[in-house]
A = this chain, B = another copy of it.
Amino acid sequence: MQRRIRVGVVGGTGYTGVELLRLLAQHPAVEVATITSRKDAGTRVADMFPSLRGRVDLAFATPDEAPLAKCDVVFFATPHGVAMSQARELLAAGVRVIDLAADFRLKDPAEFERWYKMPHACPDLLAEAVYGLPEVNRAAIAKARLIGLPGCYPTSVQLGLLPLLELERRRPGAIDTDSIIADCKSGASGAGRKAELHLLLAEASDNFKAYNVSGHRHHPETAQQLAELAGKPVGLTFVPHLVPMVRGILSTLYVRMKAAAKEDVQALFEARYRDEPFVDVMPFGSHPETRSVRASNQVRIALHRPGGGDLLIVLVVEDNLVKGASGQAVQVMNIMFGCPETDGLQQVPILP
């Protein structure tokens, strides 16, 4: 790789933005050319995030003055609705676009409108957009111009179910696809860097709760993708919970095995992920902890079958800001630009 990849970041003041900057600052083949924030234009990045002092020497620019069109790739670490308003112009200028928000995740614009309460600005681009989950779409990502990056919860749920749904596709009747339960738990950074009462330390610390049990935006995204993997609709119940910690997601997945009661699911998972650099299948019966992947792009998965029955429990941990967002974004960029997939993503998890 001769020339460095010129990167633009739109909306760098949130958690996925600062996490992108952390990862890109350590990437051997990247130059961050510009970073925008309408509200904080003029502020030096390292003044807002002192962790980046001495590592990121940029100030936030307004979207208008930022040379986004001269970048090789632009990441949108923005609220939902921003990327879709700027993607067409950037693509026309030959810039590749990776949206970390939801604008290009759902294939059906009506579904987008229903969950995000706004019309989709460019439904035609939805068809072109590639869902940026490397473990499923690596080849398509390599050729893509426009990426809708998976949400944090959906990444963990899909990676936990992927080998099973592919099995079901190959051998229908292997698992019960009507009654999958995803009981998911996330740290508070998953809600973003937003000044909301319920996210205050004094509210959320030393506390635990479920939220959005009757409907969460990551449900339609996950259901869409699971159906694609299984080749048929999948009945999914998704219950998110808020954990009093900063980073991390643990998804506890309940899947009923059918014909496959005899199936060696451990071997199935190990085979499926053998060559995946960021998916670690732990020994059967392990208990992965979120801190075992903290601040890294790693996912760890473990399987259980209590009492040897037909209910399979899949435990999946990820760092919601890395594999669940910015790390996955870098992984996708690496694929798009022909870099080694692990470039900039080799950090060892932080424990303790």
Footprint of B on A, CB under 8 Å?
15, 18, 22, 25-26, 49-55, 179, 181, 183, 185, 187-189, 191, 193-197, 199-211, 213-215, 237-239, 241, 243-248, 250, 252, 254, 256, 280, 282, 285-296, 298, 300, 304, 306-307, 311, 313, 315, 317, 321, 346-352
Contact = CB atoms under 8 A, between A and B. Distances in A.
Contacts of A22: 348-351
Contact of A202 (B183, B317, B352): B352
14 contacts: A51-B296, A189-B202, A193-B203, A195-B200, A199-B202, A201-B205, A206-B248, A209-B287, A210-B287, A213-B285, A213-B304, A239-B252, A244-B245, A347-B347
Contact of A252 (B183, B195, B206, B307): B183
A125 to B, nearest CB: 30
Contacts of A288: 50, 209
B200 A187 contact: no
B287 A250 contact: no
Which 9 pairs show the lowest CB-CB distances between chains A and B? Answer: A51-B351, A51-B349, A209-B289, A50-B292, A207-B291, A188-B201, A189-B202, A183-B183, A195-B195
B188 A185 contact: no
Contact of A206 (B15, B197, B205): B205
A208 B189 CA distance: 14
Contacts of A282: 50, 53
A318 to B, nearest CB: 12
Contact of A237 (B188, B204, B306): B306
Contacts of A280: 53-54
Given A206-B206, A348-B55, A285 B214 contact: yes
A311 B237 contact: yes
A123 B208 CA distance: 39
Contact of A210 (B209, B307, B315): B315
Contacts of A296: 51
